[in-house]
Amino acid sequence: MRTSIFTTGLALASLAASGCQPQQKKQPEKPNILFIMTDDHSYQTLSAYDNRYINTPNLDRIANDGVIFSNSFVANSICAPSRAVMLTGKHSHANGQIDNSTAFDGSQQTFPKILRQNGYQTALIGKWHLKSDPTGFDYWNILPGQGSYYNPDFIEMGENKRHEGYVTDLTTDFGIEWIENRNKEKPFCLLLHHKAAHRVWMPDTAHLKEFADTTFPLPETFYDDYEGRKAAQEQNLSIRTDDMDVVYDLKMADKEGDIQTRLSEAYRHGAYARLNDAQKKSWDDHYDPIIEDFKQANLSGKELNEWKFQRYMRDYLATIRSLDNNIGKLLDYLDKEGLLDNTLVVYTSDQGFYMGEHGWFDKRFIYEESFRTPLLMHFPEGYQRAGEIPEMVQNIDYAPTFLDIAGIEIPEDMHGKSLLPLMDSKPDKNWRDALYYHYYEFPNEHMVKRHYGIRTDRYKLIHFYYDIDQWELYDLEKDPRELNNLIDSPEYQEEIVSLRKQLKELMLKYDDQKALRIFEGELVVTE
C-alpha cells in the first residue's frame, strides 16, 4: 500500500502548530469524507468550468480552495449504472448494473462497506435510485425512485415519511443533522445525493423568477443535422420535437385543459399535484402569465424550438441556484464546526447533460457533453496542490480514492485508480492515456443506441451496435463539437487501427467479454 500523502502532511502540520495554536475540537485522525453528488448537473452550468449561463459562487468555493478536474468523465452516462460504478469502482459489466431496469446487487463489495469495516461511520442521504435497499451504511434516508421536488417522501431506514418543503433544502438539512448527531469519536463518510437537477426541473418558489428575464445564447450546434451520424439521427432527446414536452417539461399546464400533450397528465397528476396550497399559489402566479402568452403566441417551427430552449434553461438553472445556495450552507456549517481542515469534500454529478447542444437535453451518449461530468475536491490539511488537474479521470476512480485517503488498501479487482497521486507536484507518468465507455439502455424512451468506445486526449472511437452496426471517429482537437465523423476518411485510417487496438486492450483489461465478442464480430446482440 502506498504511503499516504495525508499522513505525512498532517504530521508536519501538527508539529508546526503544537503548543502555539488555540485548542481545537477533537477530530478523528483519519479524514472525514463528504461525497456530494447531484443528478444531471452539466459542467456547462457550473461557473468554475463555464460562466456563460450561471454564476455558482458556493460550488466554486470547493474548486478555489482545492482542485478542479478539467477532464472528468463517467463510464456509463445514466443514473443507476453511474451510481453503481461510483460505489464499486468497477465498470457496469462487472458490477451488474448496466441500466436503470434492474436492482443493484447490494451483497457485493462497495467502498462504504470497506470504510465501515475499518472504523468509519457511513451514511447515505438523498437520491439512491438503485431499487434495492442500501447496504454498508450505518444510516440511510433515501428518496424513493427519482423522488419529488416538492414535499417529497423519504425512506428512512425502511420507513416511508413525507416531508413538507423543497427537496434540495431537505436533503441538505438531513445531511447537516446527521453530521451534527454522529459519533464524533469516529471519522465519517457521508454520501449526500441531491435530486437536482433531474427532469422535470421544478425550481424552488423562491427562485422562480431568477432567470425570467434572461435570454441565453443558442448553442452553435442547436440545429445540428446529424449528417454522417446515424445513431444521432435516431435518438429521442430533441428539444426541437415533442421529445421535450411543453407541459411535462416546460410547465404549460393551462387551467382550461386546452394544452394536451403526450405527458401532460403525468405532470398535472404527478409533479404539480404534490404542491401544497401556498406553493401552488406561488407556482401559478409565476407560470399562468407565461402559459397565457404561450397560447396567444401560437408558436411553430424555429420560434417554438427556441422558445422551448429558453424555458428549459430558465427552469433548469433555477434548480441549480437552489443547489448552489445549499452547498454554501453546508460549507458554512463545516467551517463553523471546524470540520473542513479534516474533511475531503467532493462535488460531482452522476453524469453530464445537454444544454441544447446538438438540439438535445438528457445524456447517454459518449459525446462530450454527456460523457463529461464536473468534479471538484477540497482536500484536508496536508495536501498542497490546488488548481486544475488535467489528467483524464473517471467515476471508477472515486472508490479507490476514498479508500486510499483513509489509509485502506485498495482491492485489486477495482477498475479505478486512486486520484491521490495526482495531488503530488510532479505528474504521474503511469497515469492512464485512454478511457473506456459502454452504454446499454436501448431500446427505451430516449432511444440512444447501445455503444462502447474509447477516448484519448485527442481522439474518440465509437461503435454503435444492437439494431445498428456503425462506427464513428472524432478528432477532438480539430472538431471539439463532434460534428464530423471521420471513420471513412483516408488520412485517419492508420489512427483508427491504433485506436481499435487500444479499445480491445481496454476490453481485455476490464474483462468486458461480451463487448469483446461484439467487437470481434463473434456476437450480434438483438435482445
What's 75-89 look like in SS3?
CCCCHHHHHHHHHHC
Q: What is the mean pLDDT of residues 324-331?
A: 98
Mean pLDDT (the chain, rounded): 93
Task: Return the minimum-mean-pLDDT range out of 129-143, 309-323, 376-390.
Answer: 376-390
Q: Which pLDDT does position 527 carry in this prediction? A: 57
Asked if residue 7 has pLDDT above 80, the reply is: no
Confidence tier at 429 by pLDDT (50, 70, 90): confident
Task: Return the minimum-mean-pLDDT range out of 6-10, 264-268, 427-431, 490-494.
Answer: 6-10
Confidence tier at 191 by pLDDT (50, 70, 90): very high
Q: What is the mean pLDDT of residues 465-486?
A: 97
How is residue 461 written as a grid cell? 472511437
CA–CA dist 359, 476 (Å, integer): 20
**pLDDT digit string (tens) for 92-120?**
999 999 999 999 999 999 999 999 999 99
Residues 410, 425: contact at Cβ < 8 Å? no
Q: Which pLDDT does position 440 carry in this prediction? A: 98
HEC string of 211-229 equals CCCCCCCCCCCCCCCCCCC
Compute CA distances 470 → 63, 147, 462, 467, whole Å: 39, 36, 8, 10
Q: What is the mean pLDDT of residues 308-335?
A: 98
Q: Residue 269, by phi and psi: left (phi above 0), alpha (psi -120 to 50) or beta?
A: alpha
Q: Is the dihedral of CA 491, 391, 450, 526 positive or negative?
A: positive
**pLDDT digit string (tens) for 407-418?**
999 999 999 999
b (16+ CB within 10 A) / e for 238-248: bbbeebbbbbb
> For the purposes of burial, counting CB atoms within 10 Å of the CB of 376, is it exposed (0-12), middle (13-18) or buried (19 or more)?
buried
Q: What percent of the chain has a predicted confidence (pLDDT) above 70?
A: 94
What is the three-class DSSP state of 168?
Answer: helix
Confidence tier at 526 by pLDDT (50, 70, 90): low
Q: Which pLDDT does position 16 carry in this prediction? A: 34
What is the three-class DSSP state of 156?
Answer: strand
Confidence tier at 169 by pLDDT (50, 70, 90): very high
CA–CA dist 31, 15 (Å, integer): 18
Asked if residue 514 has pLDDT above 70, the reply is: yes
How is residue 300 written as a grid cell? 411553430
CA end-to-end span of the chain: 43
**pLDDT digit string (tens) for 45-68?**
999 999 999 999 999 999 999 999
Q: What is the mean pLDDT of residues 291-295?
A: 98
How is residue 275 written as a grid cell? 404542491
b (16+ CB within 10 A) / e for 177-204: ebbeebebeebbbbbbbbbbbbbbbbbb
> Could you tell me which of 438, 441, 403 has the C-alpha nearest to residue 89?
403
Asked if residue 5 has pLDDT above 70, the reply is: no
Q: Which pLDDT does position 27 carry in this prediction? A: 46
Q: What is the DSSP letter of 252?
A: -
> Could you tell me which of 178, 181, 154 has the C-alpha nearest to residue 167?
154
